[in-house]
A and B are shown apart, each in its own frame.
Chain A
Amino acid sequence: MDHTTAPLGPDDPVVIVGAGQGGLQAAMSLRDHGFTGPLTLVGAERTAPYQRPPLSKSYLAGADDAGALTLRPPSFFQAHRIRLRSGVRAVDIDRVGGKLVLDTAERLPYRHLVLATGARPRALPIPGTDLAGVQPLRTVADADELRRRTSVPARLVIIGGGLIGMEAAATAVLAGHQVTVIEQQPRILSRVLGPDIAAYLDELHRAHGTTILTEHGVLALHGEAGRVREVRLDDGSRLPADIVLVCVGVLPNTRLATFTDLGVADGILVDDRLRTCDPAISAIGDCASFPCGDRRIRLESVHNAVDQARHLGALRTGALDAPFRAVPRFWTHQFQARVQMAGLAAPDDESVVDGDPGSGRFTVRRFRDGRLSAVESVNQPAVHLAARRLLAAAR
């Protein structure tokens, strides 16, 4: 057996690039499955590993403080011998010598390397994005900035009606700010949710006072004295804005992989055992493109990052040898709607609504060629769990 695919031994160092939820879970799962070798977790952000989902929800609302975001206390890393290097960037991989090169010039030896580098906000290629008051929402630093700026009533324009944009919109509306969402597509949430639940959420937003402008694009951001003042739309109209949140999606962080000649195509390419073309290097989470059926997908989902990290821990310690096949799952909270999605539907998959949307608790089953492709539920967590089992059994 090629030593690079043999299960990890007690002296084999493992290095994980990316200290987000996926990277941390990978470290935990390796230890849970009995890996005792040196384990280093390298993260570019200065904060200890934390969870991002509350950044557009409870943390933004001020209901949680930074402590509530932190995934594990410092004592955890000591207790489990996980060497956490925060505020450090990986700049190169010496694949021949098995070393990860950091921006501190250190070279960390590895027997196995895990790339859990995540994704970064996509920039909007229009004038004015460098004005003060214009920002993305991805990191705790972004959320802190937004919290500061929304400590007084503000006119908030959110560019992008996807999950992050709509969650931030809900949080801001509940806090009393004037919120306008600008979405290019004919409806909000078109990439991630079927038309029924998107329409339900759209109605919920409008009932709460969110202004939603679909089929509109943004041409430029205008400012005064370096601060944003208004948003110019593609129909010529201008919206006053104190804050502009850019929520137009993310791009996978694949630079390290491209630079070191690991296959990349909308994400770092891995096989169904989560290995890149180099058997000593794996990739998981938002940055990884993996096989699903007869195609490849890349999921921007915390659940996926955690599921892949768990699976990786089992695979690399030899606890199991099975393809990664977890059912994709996502969720969003907006106002009183707790929406959960299991499976992956194509935009034109059929929809069957179960229950009464008016009651605030209902489910939409999505079908493709007569087969269940996804289940989207609102305030029905038990239905969601049952759907996950159903979809898993069908794989």
Chain B
Amino acid sequence: MPSIDYLGQDGIERVVVVTTGTTVRDAAIEHDVPGILGECGGNAECGTCHVYVDRSQLAALAPIQDIEDAMLDFTACPRADNSRLGCQIRADDAIGCLRVRVPDRQV
């Protein structure tokens, strides 16, 4: 079973085991991982599920589509080369443990 490792702003790593295909946003809400809001319900409309992804894993994720690309320019914390919206990236067995860092704020 795949997992997601969230490194929080508080320095704490929270690892949650999820089913394949679960988004980083949904898993965070389900497991009460602080710092990911995902207010729009996972529709790439609010930019409040912003995460920084472990660079070695970026290529394994589904590519960034236009809408996500546009939203990433408006996140509360600055966009970096490894920025993704949590609602657009999913855990899967091929990746194993997906490692993300939660930004300091989302609004």
* Nearest-Cβ distance from residue A22 to partner chain B, whole angstroms: 13
For residue A79, which residue of chain B has the nearest CB? Answer: B32
Q: Does A46 lie at the interface of the complex (its beta carbon under 8 Å from any beta carbon of B)?
A: no
Q: How far is the CB of B90 from chain A (nearest CB, A)?
A: 15
In the assembly, what is the distance between CA of A35 and CA of B44, in Å?
A: 31
Q: Which residues of B contact A386 (CB under 8 A)?
A: 74
Whether the pair B71, A381 counts as a contact (CB closer than 8 A) is: yes
**B interface size (C-beta, 8 A):** 15
Task: Contacts A53-B41, A306-B39, A331-B45 given; indicate if A382 touches B73 (C-beta within 8 A).
Answer: yes
Given contacts A306-B39, A386-B74, contact A381 B44 (CB under 8 A): yes
Taking CB atoms, residues of chain B closer than 8 Å to A125 are: none
Count of chain A residues near B, Cβ 8 A: 20
**In the complex, B103 has a CB within 8 A of chain A:** no
Determine the chain A residues whose CB is within 8 A of the CB of B47 once the complex forms.
385
Q: Which stretch in A68-76, A113-121, A249-257, A273-281 binds the other chain?
A: A68-76
Which B residues are in CB contact (< 8 Å) with A54?
Answer: 41
Say if the beta carbon of B30 comes within 8 Å of chain A. Answer: yes
Quick check: B45 and A51 within 8 Å, CB to CB?
no
Complex-state Cα separation, A384 to B44, whole angstroms: 12
The chain A residue sitting closest to B67, CB to CB, is A381
The reply to whether the CB of B70 lies closer than 8 angstroms to some CB of chain A is yes
A76 and B31 alpha carbons, distance in the complex (Å)? 8
Whether A72 touches B44, Cβ cut-off 8 Å, given contacts A381-B71, A382-B71, A382-B73, is: no
Given known contacts A73-B30, A79-B32, A306-B39, A382 and B74 CB-to-CB distance under 8 angstroms: yes
Q: Could you name 27 residue pairs across A and B whose Cβ atoms are closer than 8 Å?
A: A51-B41, A53-B41, A54-B41, A72-B29, A72-B32, A73-B30, A75-B32, A76-B32, A79-B32, A80-B32, A306-B39, A310-B107, A331-B45, A338-B43, A338-B45, A381-B44, A381-B45, A381-B70, A381-B71, A382-B70, A382-B71, A382-B73, A382-B74, A384-B45, A385-B47, A385-B74, A386-B74
User: Can you name 11 extra interface pairs (CB under 8 A) apart from A80-B32, A310-B107?
Assistant: A54-B41, A72-B29, A73-B30, A75-B32, A76-B32, A79-B32, A338-B43, A340-B45, A381-B44, A382-B73, A386-B74
Closest CB pairs A-B (n = 9) = A382-B70, A385-B74, A76-B32, A381-B45, A79-B32, A381-B71, A73-B30, A381-B70, A381-B67
| Chain B positions near chain A (C-beta within 8 angstroms) | 29-30, 32, 39, 41, 43-45, 47, 67, 70-71, 73-74, 107
